[in-house]
Structure 1
Amino acid sequence: MAKKFGKRRKPRVSDARDLFGAPPPPRPAARPASSTPLADYLAGELPGVSEGYVVLPRSLAESMSLPWQQQLTGLLAQFHQAHRGLSWPLYRVVPSREEKLVDLDEEQLAEAGYIVELDTEGEMVYRERSGRRVEDPANTTVLVSCLDPIPPRGAASAASAETSSGPGEPPRAAPMIIPPAPVWRSTPVAQSSS
């Protein structure tokens, strides 16, 4: 049977690239996804992050929005579930600041694990507890405990109440709304005439 509308021709392709359409747009030159995103993030200079630990002040975490707290609760539950078999120690977290060794008094030196003594020439010699001499005490920084600048739970509302009463004044009592005392009106009793 013959073709109805004539001979069918193949379209001529002048270039092989025309067969596949326009090339895709170039990909943006972004950083590739990391295989260690948490380690990468924690490697920066962040508050509460040291070489081995991440500390979240509880009062700050509990003051975050409800969705944030719910997400963190889920993540911590997964973390504790994954590591439930470990024998967890108790951790003592002490707020600390960095200080130069030469700026510390004897009590702070002892807390940091150092002692100071005078040598035969009258110069101060700083030593570790092991007795090893510190070669450059002026450029040696150590951690020394300090007062916690982050208020504990509930202290933020107490601090705001204290500032509302004025500096140096004791906090004012909250006003009480007491309704007026009820008034009982007695009706005069009609005297009966006898």
Structure 2
Amino acid sequence: MTMFTPEPMRSALPDYLRAPHPGTSDGYVVLPKSLMGAMPLAWQNALHQILAEFHQTFAHLDWPEYRVVPSRREKLVNLDEDQLAEAGYLVEIDVDGELVYRERTGRRIDNPEETEVLVSVLDPIPGEYRNANQDTPPRGFPAPPATAQAPWPRPTSPA
């Protein structure tokens, strides 16, 4: 006779967080406040409860202050000198007249055409009121009924 042993309950969250999604990296998830505030009210209330419990549970930790910089991946060969410096690289011309890419430490980059780095960009996520006058809901949000007011904020008209 074999005994039935149910599998332990497993959270889908780790798998979800390992998959590539907008605003995620290996260690962090970034949620733009403007998009969170534009979610339907039921979503905002649910997220508020979850985040409040999260912060209460981990309030005892010595949290650093985070600096979030909108960035995108670019190949080294497509960067100007300022972008290279920001990413920690430099380019020089060797004795043969060839471009040589190096890390800040001096280490030569063998395949700059294939090497991608993060460079800062202007934030493409709308601010609290930028694009808020559009009638199209953000992707993934349910469209409001034709007679209802949209769940995302609308700017007030200047007088």
Identify which of 55, 59, 70 aligns with 2:45: 70
Q: Secondary structure at the match of 1:156?
A: coil
Compute the displacement of 1:152 (Å). 0.8
1:37 equivalent in alignment to 2:12: yes
Larger RCO, structure (CA 8 Å, separation 6 or more): 2
| Percent identity (aligned) | 56
Query: Aligned partners of 1:56, 1:65: CA distance in 2, in Å?
Result: 15
Compute the displacement of 1:154 (Å). 1.9
Q: What corresponds to 1:92 in structure 2?
A: 67
Identify which of 91, 106, 109 aligns with 1:116: 91
Compute the displacement of 1:37 (Å). 2.0
Unaligned residue ranges in structure 2 (runs of 5+): 1-6, 135-156
1:52 equivalent in alignment to 2:27: yes
Q: What corresponds to 1:61 in structure 2?
A: 36
Query: Aligned partners of 1:72, 1:175: CA distance in 2, in Å?
Result: 32
Compute the displacement of 1:33 (Å). 7.5
Query: Aligned partners of 1:73, 1:80: CA distance in 2, in Å?
Result: 10
- Using a 3 Å threshold, how does the CA distance of structure 1 residues 175 and 129 change in structure 2: closer, same or farther? closer
Compute the displacement of 1:156 (Å). 2.7
Structure 1, residues 90-137: CA drift from partner, whole Å, max 9, x if none? 111111111100000000000111011111111111111111111110
The two structures, once aligned, show a CA RMSD in angstroms of: 2.2
Query: Aligned partners of 2:99, 2:75: CA distance in 1, in Å?
Result: 15
Q: What corresponds to 1:83 in structure 2?
A: 58
Larger radius of gyration: 1
Q: Matches of residues 161-176 of structure 1 in structure 2 within 5 Å?
A: none
1:153 equivalent in alignment to 2:128: yes
Q: What corresponds to 2:102 in structure 1?
A: 127
Query: Aligned partners of 2:85, 2:11: CA distance in 1, in Å?
Result: 39
Q: Secondary structure at the match of 1:74?
A: helix
What TM-score, normalized by structure 1, do the two folds share? 0.63
Identify which of 98, 103, 122 aligns with 2:78: 103
Q: Counterpart amino acid of 1:131?
A: G
Q: What corresponds to 2:4 in structure 1?
A: none
Query: Aligned partners of 2:78, 2:9: CA distance in 1, in Å?
Result: 42
Compute the displacement of 1:155 (Å). 2.0
Q: Counterpart amino acid of 1:108?
A: Q
Q: Secondary structure at the match of 2:91?
A: strand
Structure 1, residues 171-194: CA drift from partner, whole Å, max 9, x if none? xxx698xxxxxxxxxxxxxxxxxx
Compute the displacement of 1:82 (Å). 1.2
